[in-house]
Homo-oligomer: A and B are copies of this chain.
Amino acid sequence: MDVAEFRRRGKEMVDYVADYMETIEQRQVYPDVEPGYLRHLIPTEAPLEPETYEDVIKDVERVIMPGITHWHSPYFYAYFPAATSFPAMLADMLCGAIGCIGFSWAASPACTELETVMLDWLGKMLQLPDDFLAGTHGHGGGVIQSTASEATLMSLLAARCKAVRLVQASDPQSSEADIMSKLVAYTSDQLCATLGTTPSCAFDHITELGPMCNAEKIWMHIDAAYAGSAFICPEFRPLLNGIEFADSFNLNPHKWLLVNFDCSTMWVKKRSDIIGAFKMDPLYLTHENQESGLVTDYRHWQIPLGRRFRSLKMWFVFRMYGLKGLQAHIRKQVGLAKEFESLVRADKRFEICAEVIMGLVCFRLKGSNELNEALLKKINHGRRIHLVPCQLSGRFVLRFAVCARTTESHHIQEAWRHITQLTFELLQEPAH
């Protein structure tokens, strides 16, 4: 494909993407396929000779779309949202074209520098303590990880490295393996200190945990993967109080801040803690500026060596929405969850199972776990909307997460009508 054909095909793809987003409601949110469906639709080997773009693109509707769970459909209420927005998609196109691998400052200075400044921008929107910002002279700062799992792993490894060094400083004879066998990681049953858990969006009391961690020299990492985006709204910011006790913190703009996956932002109070644990300097990655102390080489902050220019997405989204636009998005989705909560509460057959603080409603039919499992099965087999369950204190609970950017009040009303209709049918069945 030469550049002239790319111009043509690229524009066709823009229209395909726009059409997909514009008509996504007409697609069935959850697919009908059985495991192994795809292997039989395509050849067992790659072609020897090139195929045309027409050959490929016509297979998107034949092979791919029948097997897609449409995360951006306003009938998708499963898991947590996967963020998307048009500015982020445009930035991603630019990111792909530049195609730099930003493992060091020199590998593309703009890639590193925009990231540092975007993490400061977002840190300020969240009113993080200044300790977490890079600024021009700070000791802290932020980095984009791929996922919250990686951010948490990095914190754990940095904490372990720091603890080992602390023990070795007072007892130089002790071996690393010996020290490690005695280290303890304290977690809740959801892992580390969490603001907004996945099953029920529950919040730990970090103002209580924090001072204890600090007194005992325990590294405190706070994971606010989903809920963290909401802290840009002053009314939700108090949930982040206690952040001043933390050593590291992460949230996923790719969940709820309109920046496409992947973009998990992580801040540390002391850059040296994280860099100290992972520094890696072969000659082919050194550059003249690194000894100046003025540059950040993000390869020391993460497991992978390579990294994409992901801060472009943040820059496009933050500017084209503005803080007010981002706040409006969060508030709208919380409002829709509250609307759904009201509908559930008004129906005496149902109960709400966890306080509704963000965009997630945990609810169930009053009755057995089996009854609720049957209801969820009926809902998901109906293919009209898509939900997943969770377990809260041994009870089988349905999770209704407001996900798609384009979800409106009428979708919520329609989803509830559908759920009550299926409930009516379920309760008519002899077994119940």
Contact = CB atoms under 8 A, between A and B. Distances in A.
Nearest to A72: B99
Interface in A1-23: 1-3, 5-7, 9-11, 13-18, 20-22
A79 B64 contact: no
Copies in the complex: 2
Interface residues of A, number: 132
B320 A53 contact: yes
Contacts of A181: 175, 177-178, 180-181
- Overall SS of chain A's interface: helix
A424 interface: no
Contact of A6 (B13, B47, B86): B86
Contacts of A262: 304, 306, 308
Given A136-B39, A177-B181, A319-B55, A312 B64 contact: yes
Given A14-B10, A100-B82, A284 B320 contact: no
Interface stretch (A104-112, A206-214, A336-344): A104-112
Contact of A99 (B16, B33, B52, B260): B260
25 contacts: A1-B86, A3-B22, A6-B90, A14-B14, A16-B97, A17-B93, A37-B113, A38-B114, A39-B136, A44-B124, A46-B322, A47-B322, A47-B323, A48-B324, A67-B110, A82-B101, A82-B306, A88-B96, A89-B93, A146-B306, A175-B181, A180-B181, A282-B390, A282-B391, A284-B388
